[in-house]
Structure 1
Amino acid sequence: MSTDKYKRQLLATGDIIETLHYSVFAINWWIFIKKMPEKYSSIPIRVNMRIKFELNKTEFIIRIIKQSNNIYQPSYICETDQAAMVYSTPTAAINETYKKLFNVQTRYSGPLVMGFDDEKIAEELQVGVLFFPFKISVHNITVFIFALGSSTLEELNFAGTGYQSSFSHKFRGKQSLIVQSILKDKCQIDIYQQAEKIQTYSGVSPKDVWSKLKILNNIDEKELFGINNRHVIMAIQNYIDKPLCCVTDWSNVQIMIQAFEQCLKRKILVAGLNWNLFFIEWKNQQSSIIELSSHLTWVYSENYEFIDRELQAWR
Structure 2
Amino acid sequence: MRIGVAGVGRIGSMHASNLVSLPDVEQVLLFDPVPGRAYQAAGGLGDRAAAVDTYEGLVADCDGVLVATPTASHPHLVRGAVAARVPVLCEKPLAPDLAAMEAVVAGIEAMDGQVMVGFQRRFDPATVELRRRLRAGEVGTVYLVRTVNNDHLPPAGEFLATSGGLFRDCLIHDLDAVPWLVGEPVVEVYASGAVLVDQAFAEIGDVDNAVVTLRFAGGAHALLSASRHDPVGYDCRMEVFGSKDTLAVGVDEHTPLNSLEPGAPRPVAPWPGFPERYHHAYVNEMRVFMEVIAGRAENPSPPRDSLTSLRLAAACEESWRTALPVRTV
TM > 0.5 fold call: no
TM-score (norm 2): 0.23
Q: Which has the higher contact order (CA 8 A, sep 6+)?
A: 2
Larger radius of gyration: 1
> Which of the two has greater helix per residue?
2
TM-score (norm 1): 0.24
